[in-house]
Amino acid sequence: MIVNLSWAELKNLEQIKKLGLQYIDEGTDYKIWISENGDTYQTFISKTDTPNSDQIDFETNYKSISNSKRKSVSPGFYAEQYKNVSLYERKTNLTNDDFSEIISITPETGKVFYITDILFTATEDGELKTTINGYEVGYAYYGKRQLFKLEKGTPFVLPGGYTLSVSFKPDISGAKATVNFGGYKI
């Protein structure tokens, strides 16, 4: 579930839950969120030449400590606590010639990555494709500023040695795209 909040509401919720703010600088605004058990609480703060109070508060008090709760546990994987995993990747200046891989995950042999949610955002409309070991398993047309989120009651299981890849082909060159995976590994 995605819940849009004001900046003040998101700060208060983060202080209660202590999940650690995550953010993306999207050029004209900041996308800021926290996630828990498949739920994402988010807000957008506009960036202007004359900063507003939310922008000043975020840049002064929160920006430098956001994204900091993620700690590397192996190449490409980040753990916030115990076996919970969050994986984030952002690509910029994508062309409309062909699909560009945004992120690729391959758990170690003998390990399993349980994917509980996938968040995708992009600055332009385009085509979104998901593959496992090169075989297409998902396709969608994506509208910019739309938040694509895959949520399942039961986690998707990605066994060790298999590669899950998310690619995007924007309608207009110069696009930026972001993918955020959540789940856990054993």
The pLDDT tens digits for 28-84 are 888 888 877 767 888 999 888 788 999 999 999 888 888 754 433 333 333 333 345
d(CA 35, CA 70): 13
Distance in angstroms (rounded) separating the CA atoms of residues 18 and 34? 9
Contact 27, 38 (CB under 8 A): no
- Measure the CA–CA gap between 102 and 117, rounded to whole angstroms: 16
Q: What is the pLDDT of residue 69?
A: 45
In this prediction, residues 100-116 reach a mean pLDDT of 78
The pTM assigned to this predicted structure is 0.52
In this prediction, residue 45 carries a pLDDT of: 92
Q: Which of 140, 130, 126, 139 is nearest to 173 (CA)?
A: 126
- Pick one of 2.40.50.180, 3.40.50.720, 3.40.50.1100, 2.60.120.20 as the CATH number of 71-185: 2.60.120.20
The structural domains of the chain, with segments of one domain joined by +, span 2-65, 71-185
Give the number of other CB atoms < 10 A from CB of residue 167. 21
pLDDT band at 24 (very low <50, low <70, confident <90, very high): confident
Alpha helices per DSSP H over 1-66: 7-17, 53-57
- Is-contact 184 85, C-beta < 8 A? yes
- What residues contact residue 66 under an 8 Å CB cut-off, 6+ apart? 20, 21, 22, 23, 32
Q: What pLDDT score does 132 carry?
A: 86
SS3 content of the chain, % helix, strand, coil (to 5): 15, 55, 30
